[in-house]
C-alpha cells in the first residue's frame, strides 16, 4: 500500500484566498465573484505622514494568497502609483510573514513598464528594479497583462504569467462588423502588435511615422499605407495622456480616413487625457479595466472587462 511505501507523504490542496489593494478594488470584486470566493478582509490605509499600512484580518497560514493590485493611481481611493507599489510590497511581505503557502501578485498593469531600458545616460532601468522589489518582498509568481515590452519577463527570476487582451479586443471589433478596415500602428515599435491585430480581424496594416522630441510628447509625420476612405483602428498597449493617440487620429483623418477608432489594453488616462480624447475625433476608444477609470470619462470610451481572463489564469 502507498501508506506503507510513503508513510510520511501527505497530499493536500492549499486553499485559495483573494485580497485586493486599493488600486482597482472593483476588478478584484469581479474576479472574486467569478471564482466563487469572498475577498479576504485586509486593513489598508495611508497615515497622515504618507506612509502606507496593511494588515490581514484573518489567518492566511498555508493558503495560496492572490493579491490583486495594478501599479497605478486611483483618484477615488486617493492613492498614487507609488502608493500602489508600496502597498503591494507590504501586502506580499505581510503574507509571507503570516506563513502563506504561496503569494501570487496579480498586477494586470505593471507600473514603470515603460522604463524598461536606458534611453539616455545615467537613467535607471526602473522596470527591472520593480521586478526585483516584488521578488525581494517574497512574491512566488506574478500574473500580468500586455507588458509594454515582453522582455520585462526576463527581469524576473520567478515565473511570470503574461496574459494578453488581444483576443478580447479583436473579438469586439469583429462583432462590430466594420467594413474597409485598416489597422494603424502608432509607431514602429507597435508594428508586431498591430500586425497580429490586423491578421485576426482580417484587415490591412498601415504605420505612422512618429518622433518623440521629449517624454510624453509625440509628433506624427505621415502615414505609411493606404487609409483613404477606410475605417482606421489605431492599436496600442496603453493610453496615457492620449497625446500620441490624438496626434495619430488627426493625421489619419487628414490622410482621408472615413472614421477612426482606438484600442488599447491599459487606460492610464493621466494629465489631460480626457480633454485630448474628447477633441480627437474618435468614434470610440476601446480599453479594458486593468486600471480603474474615472466615471467622468468621455462617452466614446468603451471599457471591456478583463476579470474573466484573469480568473481563468488564477484557476
Q: Which of 34, 117, 195, 210 is catalytic?
A: 210
Grid coordinates in use for 188?
Answer: 514602429
* CA gyration radius, the chain: 21
In DSSP terms, which residues pair with 275 in a beta bridge? none
Is 210 a known active-site residue? yes
Q: List phi, psi (to 5°) of 260.
A: -140, 135
Neighbour-count burial of 267, counting CB atoms closer than 10 A to its CB (0-12 exposed, 13-18 middle, 19+ buried): buried
Residue matched to cell numbers 476579470: 307
SS (H, E, C) 248-302: HHHHHHHCCCCEEEEEEEEECCCCCHHHHHHCCCCCEEEEECCCCCCCCCCCCEE
Any idea which residues carry the catalytic annotation? 210
Amino acid at each position: 500500500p502507498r501508506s506503507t511505501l510513503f508513510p510520511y507523504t501527505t497530499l493536500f490542496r492549499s486553499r485559495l484566498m483573494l485580497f485586493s489593494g486599493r488600486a482597482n478594488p472593483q476588478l478584484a470584486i469581479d474576479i472574486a465573484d467569478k471564482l466563487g470566493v469572498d475577498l479576504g478582509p485586509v486593513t489598508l490605509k495611508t497615515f497622515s505622514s504618507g506612509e502606507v499600512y496593511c494588515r490581514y484580518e484573518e489567518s492566511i497560514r498555508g493558503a495560496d494568497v492572490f493579491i490583486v493590485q495594478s501599479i497605478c493611481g486611483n483618484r477615488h481611493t486617493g492613492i498614487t502609483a507609488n502608493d500602489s507599489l508600496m502597498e503591494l510590497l507590504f501586502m506580499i511581505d505581510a503574507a509571507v510573514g503570516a506563513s502563506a503557502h504561496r503569494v501570487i501578485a496579480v498586477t494586470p498593469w505593471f507600473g514603470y513598464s515603460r522604463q524598461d531600458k536606458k534611453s539616455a545616460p545615467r537613467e535607471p532601468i526602473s522596470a527591472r528594479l520593480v521586478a526585483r522589489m516584488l521578488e525581494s518582498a517574497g512574491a512566488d509568481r506574478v500574473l500580468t497583462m500586455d507588458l509594454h515590452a515582453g522582455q520585462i519577463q526576463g527581469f524576473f527570476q520567478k515565473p511570470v504569467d503574461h496574459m494578453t487582451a488581444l483576443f478580447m479586443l479583436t473579438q469586439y471589433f469583429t462583432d462590430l462588423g466594420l467594413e474597409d478596415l485598416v489597422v494603424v500602428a502608432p509607431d514602429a515599435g507597435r508594428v508586431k502588435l498591430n500586425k497580429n491585430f490586423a491578421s485576426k480581424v482580417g484587415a490591412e496594416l498601415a504605420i505612422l511615422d512618429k518622433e518623440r522630441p521629449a517624454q510624453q510628447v509625440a509628433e506624427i509625420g505621415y502615414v505609411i499605407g493606404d487609409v483613404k476612405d477606410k475605417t482606421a483602428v489605431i492599436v496600442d498597449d496603453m493610453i496615457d495622456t492620449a497625446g500620441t493617440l490624438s496626434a495619430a487620429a488627426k493625421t489619419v483623418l487628414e490622410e482621408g480616413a472615413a472614421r477612426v477608432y482606438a484600442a488599447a489594453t491599459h487606460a492610464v488616462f493621466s494629465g489631460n487625457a480626457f480633454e485630448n480624447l474628447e477633441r480627437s475625433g474618435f468614434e470610440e476608444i476601446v480599453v479594458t479595466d486593468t486600471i480603474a477609470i474615472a466615471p467622468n470619462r468621455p462617452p466614446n470610451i468603451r471599457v471591456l472587462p478583463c476579470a474573466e481572463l484573469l480568473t481563468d489564469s488564477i484557476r
